């Protein structure tokens, strides 16, 4: 589809975002750092849906309107999370999960950095860099040719720059329009107050 230059109306009840796709074809040099004080990275072998969704919302839902895994039927979600080619990690601070790393190896020869982020409790620490170092190492240990991720204009405003500094290269952009998760009941209306609701 070809779009003419200019502005386009977004239907009421929906949110629009610009999505940037990025990839890494060889492991980038790591930016060494220690884990944040009191933190430990742990692989979650068989995540429960309730545990995962709780962490998903705390990391990305309330501040950045992550909603895709909230709309997914539980059986479908568990089918992904418990697939032997999907790795889920939690960055725990004082025993509570505050960071999420999900690596998806289901496509041959590549790995998707499916979900990546930390809760407000770890923003401004070394947590993101620590998680990314682990993500790059674990992904390319799987004998892949490509690690890829996407971020959007609803994410943390420093997310795109972080991925570029981590060694990813931006490859393309898309515009995504979806029902506003605060109007569908997937997230409370108080989520992401910086994004206006258009009823």
pLDDT tens digits, 129-139: 999 999 999 99
Domain boundaries, the chain: 20-183
Q: Nearest CA to 90 among 100, 80, 77, 81?
A: 100
pLDDT at site 136 = 97
Return the CATH number of 20-183, one of 3.30.70.60, 3.40.630.30, 3.30.530.20, 3.40.190.10: 3.40.630.30
pLDDT in tens, 141-186: 988 999 999 999 999 999 999 999 999 999 999 999 999 999 999 9
Strand extents, DSSP E, 142-191: 146-152, 169-179
**Section 114-133 average pLDDT:** 95
φ, ψ (nearest 5 deg) of residue 195 = -105, 115
Q: What is the mean pLDDT of residues 91-120?
A: 96
Q: What is the pLDDT of residue 34?
A: 86
Residues in Cβ contact with 188 at an 8 Å cutoff, skipping those fewer than 6 apart: 62, 182
- Separation CA 34–CA 129 (nearest Å): 9
The pLDDT of residue 91: 97
Report, as an integer, the average pLDDT of 103-123: 96
Residue 3 pLDDT > 80: no
Read off the pLDDT of residues 29-78 as tens digits, 9 standing for 90 and up: 988 898 889 999 999 999 999 999 999 999 999 999 999 999 999 999 99
Confidence band, pLDDT 50/70/90 cuts, at residue 96: very high
Looking at residue 35, its pLDDT comes to 86
Question: Taken in order 91, 150, 153, 75, is the CA torsion positive or negative?
Answer: negative
């Amino acid at each position: 589809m070809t779009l003419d230059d200019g502005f386009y109306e977004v239907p009421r009840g929906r949110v629009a975002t610009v999505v940037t796709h990025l990839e890494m074809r060889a492991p980038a040099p790591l930016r060494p750092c220690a884990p944040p004080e009191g933190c430990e990275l742990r692989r979650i072998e068989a995540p429960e849906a309730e545990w995962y969704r709780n962490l998903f919302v705390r990391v990305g839902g309330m501040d950045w309107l992550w909603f895709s895994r909230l709309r997914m039927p539980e059986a479908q979600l568990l089918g992904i999370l418990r697939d032997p080619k999907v790795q889920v990690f939690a960055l725990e601070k004082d025993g509570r999960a505050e960071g999420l790393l999900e690596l998806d190896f289901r496509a041959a020869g590549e790995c998707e950095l499916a979900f990546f982020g930390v809760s407000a409790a770890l923003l401004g620490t070394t947590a993101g860099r620590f998680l990314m170092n682990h993500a790059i190492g674990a992904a390319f240990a799987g004998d892949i040719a490509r690690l890829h991720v996407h971020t959007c204009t609803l994410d943390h405003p420093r997310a795109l720059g972080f991925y570029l500094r981590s060694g990813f290269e931006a490859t393309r952009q898309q515009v995504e329009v979806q029902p506003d998760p605060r109007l569908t009941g997937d997230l409370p209306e108080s989520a992401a107050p910086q994004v206006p609701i258009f009823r």
